[in-house]
Amino acid sequence: MGRFITIVILFVAVALLVNKFVLQGAPEQPVDPQKKTEQAESTLAEAPSTTTPSSDGSASDEPASAGESTESEPVAKPKPEPKTKAQAEPSQPEAVLLGSGDLLTGIPGEGGLTLEQIDSWLANPTNHVTLQPVLPLSLAAGAAEIKGIDENPLTRAKIELGRQLYFDTRLSSDNTISCASCHDPDFGFAKNTPFGIGVDGQQGGRNSPIAYNRILSGPQFWDGRAESLEAQAVGPIANPIEMANTHEACVETLKGINGYAKQFEAVFDDGVSIGGVTIDNVGMALASFERAIVTGPAPWDYYQKVATFEKSYADDLAFIEEEKAKDEPELDDEDLELWREYTNLKMPLTAHPISDSAIRGGQLFFSDRAGCTACHLGANFTDEMYHNLGVGMDAEEPDDKTDWGRFVVTNDDKDRGAFKTPTIRNVSYTGPFMHDGSQQTLEEVVEWYAKGGHPNPHLSEKVKKLDLTDQDKKDLVEFMAEGLKSEFPKIEQERLPQ
């Protein structure tokens, strides 16, 4: 029972902290998101292991009555009293659970956005309060890895502006292409074509990656050539085969749309950046929107939580079960409390069941035998590093069409043919796969790994021929396709300034 008491003390401590920072408002210093999650970080550092999402580290991220935890708020939201911007200084961060709620559902209403609606949205101080993102169980273990929000603080108004820009084809030269044309929410924020298709049907040579869970990701693109989401976001606008616009023309267009001009003025009047429509502010708004797109807990996450708990309290749970079977069980309050916690923990797993095959696949994924977690590790299943699996390296003689990936950025020979490890959360929505979209199905991907990738002088030494049975392969696919599939946040795709 000693362990249980420790956990209770921990839980009370976390509850007190939450109470202090969130319910009563933050202290002078904004809460350091890194502090809260030191425990989670240490779990992450231990990866690869089967305990990625720690059961204790996320205690503050999940409501105790996690019946439908993806839909509930982490803690009672402070209702900020209406106050003017000046009074709100320094604005107190508001904790917001990403991945659910109304952060991405747009300014309330129907149809095109009117100036009136935009004015009243901007006049509400709540929309300008700095948000302190809380990650759902899916990503909670990575909370210490959150990127970019110190330089580019999140606010509701900025996220909403980014949402509008993301879906607006007016950012492109001929008004036909938006970010969503290639990163489509209906295709897991990727696209079901091998290559992105831009203005005039032009195609590049790379597959459109996903645009979610970016909050844990630093450098962007398959080769990491953009140092941040902000830097990445303005790239496609001026890319001749994507949105084929110029930054100047894009800024002029946005300035000419009153609803945008007003929002840019209000959103970036924050002492951090220069207000108004600038291409940098376009990048900051888009990046903020992308950071807020977080995919929710998957069956594997819920399963992990239960499995970790069962392992930690194996003896206690066995004892309670034994007692419960008796006519007159002798259980004290602690036992009953532990049992209640256990039952609560199992509820979301019951609602999001996981198959035995997916569980076996997950165990295999994390095992040395498959070795996937040599690269796909941590909360978002990626080391954010670059590796050569031999994809696209099968030409007899490399020619000027060969895509050398990371090498083009670093000029370092060891980076030839290396590409950034993608997340495999919700990967089943995002086919075709790999940087060149050359693999159609997850079965094909698993075969690729089983045969040890494609031999080439720069093949990663972490890629080896695997000894997998047909059932193993099925299990791996099942793990990725079902075990890691989860809900996407609700997103308004229309509602743009007129």
Tell me if 163 contacts ligand HEC by CB under 6 A: no
384: amino acid identity, one letter: E
Bridge partners (DSSP) listed for residue 498: none
Residues in contact with ligand HEC, shown as a per-residue x/- string from 261 to 290 under the rule CB under 6 A: -------------------------x---x
Distance CA 357, CA 468 (A): 14
Which residue in 154, 237, 266, 377 binds ligand HEC (CB under 6 A)?
A: 237
Site size toward ligand HEC (CB under 6 A) is 56
Distance CA 264, CA 353 (A): 44
Tell me if 208 contacts ligand HEC by CB under 6 A: yes
* Cβ distance to ligand HEC smaller for residue 292 or 306: 292
> Using N-to-C axis directions, what is the helix angle for 279-292 and 247-255, rounded to 10°?
80
Which region, judged by CB under 6 A, interacts with ligand HEC, from 63-71, 96-104, 111-119, 430-438?
Answer: 430-438
- Other beta carbons within 10 Å of 303: 22
* Cβ distance to ligand HEC smaller for residue 140 or 442: 442
Which region, judged by CB under 6 A, interacts with ligand HEC, from 17-25, 29-37, 130-138, 421-429?
Answer: 421-429
* Cβ distance to ligand HEC smaller for residue 198 or 297: 198
Expressed in angstroms, the distance from the first to the final Cα of the chain is 63
* Cβ distance to ligand HEC smaller for residue 62 or 223: 223
Tell me if 220 contacts ligand HEC by CB under 6 A: yes
Burial class (CB in 10 A: 0-12, 13-18, 19+), 107: buried
Residue listed under structure tokens 């095109």: 112
> CA torsion sign, 210 to 379 to 220 to 133?
positive
- Other beta carbons within 10 Å of 495: 19
Distance CA 318, CA 60 (A): 27
Q: How do 94-97 and 131-134 pair as beta strands?
A: parallel
* Cβ distance to ligand HEC smaller for residue 313 or 488: 488
Residues in contact with ligand HEC, shown as a per-residue x/- string from 288 to 317 under the rule CB under 6 A: --x---------------------------
Residue listed under structure tokens 């492109």: 172
* Cβ distance to ligand HEC smaller for residue 48 or 93: 48
Which residue in 75, 113, 179, 459 binds ligand HEC (CB under 6 A)?
A: 179
Tell me if 206 contacts ligand HEC by CB under 6 A: yes
Give 327's Cβ-side CA count (13 Å radius).
0
Which residue in 159, 377, 463, 481 binds ligand HEC (CB under 6 A)?
A: 463
Distance CA 365, CA 367 (A): 6
Given a contact cutoff of 8 angstroms between Cβ atoms, the answer to whether 220 and 277 are in contact is: no
Distance of closest approach, residue 223 Cβ to ligand HEC, in angstroms? 6
Tokens encoding 375: 């690269």
Distance of closest approach, residue 25 Cβ to ligand HEC, in angstroms? 34
Distance CA 308, CA 113 (A): 48
234: amino acid identity, one letter: V
Distance of closest approach, residue 136 Cβ to ligand HEC, in angstroms? 20
Tell me if 407 contacts ligand HEC by CB under 6 A: no
Which residue in 47, 140, 391, 481 binds ligand HEC (CB under 6 A)?
A: 391
Site residues (CB under 6 A) for ligand HEC?
Answer: 177, 179, 181-183, 196-198, 204, 206, 208-209, 211, 214, 220-223, 229, 232-233, 236-237, 242-243, 286, 290, 365, 370-372, 374-376, 387, 389, 391, 419-422, 424, 427, 430, 433-435, 442, 445-446, 449, 460, 462-463, 476, 480
